[in-house]
Amino acid sequence: MRRFQSHGDGRFTRELLAKVGAYVVFEDGVRVWHPETVEIGDNVYVGHGAMLKGHPAGRMVIGDDTWIGQGVFLHSAGGLTIGRCVGVGPMVMMITSTHQDLGREQPILDSPLVFAPIVVEDEVDVGTGSVVLPGVTIGRGACIGAGAVVTRDVPPYTVAAGNPARVIRTR
């Protein structure tokens, strides 16, 4: 029988973070797991109900002057780097692990996890409700349309939208 265990409630204090810059705002309901693996730069906003799911296997780095919207879910087991001057819209998910597909040999939930980093370069805007999957780099100045599912790299200064996200124009 599979037995699940709690990861805790994500309550934290600033002192527990690996790094927290000046003028960082955490709105009500923000949760951070493994805060010792989370680094946050100066002048960062983290919206109501955001979940920063740190992990002992990877670091989460959020750059200066970045805005993290309400209800965002950031996962960093594979490593997550968000640059400076980035906007992450409400309800965005960035996920750095997936289950390895072993076919029908075992239930997918029992298969090993595979980790891959996400890198969001400087001056990117990630639209509301987007999902960014493991192994993706979003280039500097790119714009991700609302609701996009980003499964592969997005070049700098382009606009990508859709499911799966595709480049629809250059900025």
Kindly state the tokens that stand for 92: 């965005």
pLDDT over 80 at 105, yes or no: no
Kindly state the tokens that stand for 145: 């349309």
Tell which CATH architecture fits domain 26-170. 3 Solenoid (2.160)
User: What is the spatial distance between Cα 134 and Cα 27, in angstroms, rounded to a whole number?
Assistant: 27
Instruction: Record the pTM.
Output: 0.95
Position 130 confidence tier, pLDDT thresholds 50, 70, 90: very high
Chain centre to alpha carbon of residue 130? 10
pLDDT over 80 at 1, yes or no: no
User: What is the spatial distance between Cα 34 and Cα 59, in angstroms, rounded to a whole number?
Assistant: 10
DSSP secondary structure, 22-76, as one string: TT-EE-TT-EEESGGGEEE-SS-EE-TT-EEE-BTTB-EEE-TT-EE-TT-EEE-
pLDDT (tens digit, 9 = 90+) per residue, 7-38? 999 999 999 999 999 999 999 999 999 999 99
User: What is the spatial distance between Cα 74 and Cα 148, in angstroms, rounded to a whole number?
Assistant: 16
What mean pLDDT comes out for the span 50-66? 97
What's the pLDDT score for residue 84? 98
What mean pLDDT comes out for the span 129-157? 98
- The answer for residues whose C-beta is within 8 angstroms of residue 148's C-beta and 6 or more apart is 127, 130, 131, 160, 161, 162, 163, 165
Question: Is 55 an active-site residue?
Answer: no
